[in-house]
Amino acid sequence: GQNIDQPTEMTATEGAIVQINCTYQTSGFNGLFWYQQHAGEAPTFLSYNVLDGLEEKGRFSSFLSRSKGYSYLLLKELQMKDSASYLCAVTDSNYQLIWGAGTKLIIKP
Amino acid sequence: GAVVSQHPSWVICKSGTSVKIECRSLDFQATTMFWYRQFPKQSLMLMATSNEGSKATYEQGVEKDKFLINHASLTLSTLTVTSAHPEDSSFYICSARYGFGPGPQETQYFGPGTRLLVL
């Protein structure tokens, strides 16, 4: 079956750095997405990786290793507004998007 | 760019009535639109995928006669919840993408969602 694993919940301190991991087992691979979803709101697109390596976008970076079926989202200089759920999603060989259950990130002052 | 709107943002209706939700891509043409449902503190659940001008593809367990999807143009898709019941109360979210195939065009951009409460 197709599976995406990410931690259910993480806690970090304001100003610090946090890394949210995502491992996947899918039928083929055509890209990996990270979305942010604040409570009660719809997801917003953060990043897209299709090749191995690190993509940096401001305070957020996303890394992909296709051989390991692994990605992480790195958040630097954490702010209280970064408290949200972070969803990892993978496009399989049929271009179907497989969603992870999300990681709830709690930022403490 | 890549803005998706949804209307209405909130709807309260009586049991047995039908509710229509609109999803529009405002600054791009969406080859495909998706409809999701999310219950409190649960994951996104894909309900159906629709391509402009063709019938929607529904996920297993989603009643196509209850959740009618129309994708009449490249910028508009509608979801109609027919004969709504309290158990249909949920957060309905649409998303749209402008392309197909490996690459950024695969990105789904989400509307703000519609909260449905059926009394």
What are the pLDDT digits (tens) for B4-15?
Answer: 999 999 999 999
Inform me whether the pLDDT recorded for A89 exceeds 80: yes
A45 vs B109: CB contact, 8 Å cut-off? yes
The number of angstroms, rounded, from the C-alpha of B31 to the middle of its chain's C-alpha atoms is: 14
Average pLDDT of chain A is 96
B56 Cβ partners below 8 Å, 6+ apart? B48, B49, B50, B64, B69, B71
Residue of B7, B42, B107, B109 to mutate, interface with A, max A Cβ within 10 Å: B107
The CA distance from A85 to A35, in Å, is 8
Q: Is the pLDDT of residue A1 over 80?
A: no
Question: What are the backbone angles phi and psi of residue A20, rounded to the nearest 5°?
Answer: -105, 120
- Where does the pLDDT of residue B27 fall: very low under 50, low under 70, confident under 90, or very high at 90 and above? very high
Residues of A in contact with B44 (CB under 8 A): 43, 87, 99
Q: What is the pLDDT of residues A7-58, one digit of tens each?
A: 999 999 999 999 999 999 999 999 999 999 999 999 999 999 999 999 999 9
Q: Nearest C-alpha of chain A: how many angstroms from B92? A: 9
Q: How would you class A50 by CB atoms within 10 Å of its CB: exposed for 0-12, middle for 13-18, buried for 19 or more?
A: middle
Single out the residue of A96, A105, A98 nearest to residue A74, CA to CA.
A105
Best mutation target among B31, B98, B110 (most A Cβ atoms within 10 Å) is B110
* CA of A60 vs chain B CAs: smallest distance (Å): 17
pLDDT band at B79 (very low <50, low <70, confident <90, very high): very high
**Banded pLDDT at B28 (limits 50, 70, 90):** very high
State mean pLDDT over B105-119: 94
Mean pLDDT on B91-102 = 88
Q: What was the pLDDT predicted at A37?
A: 97
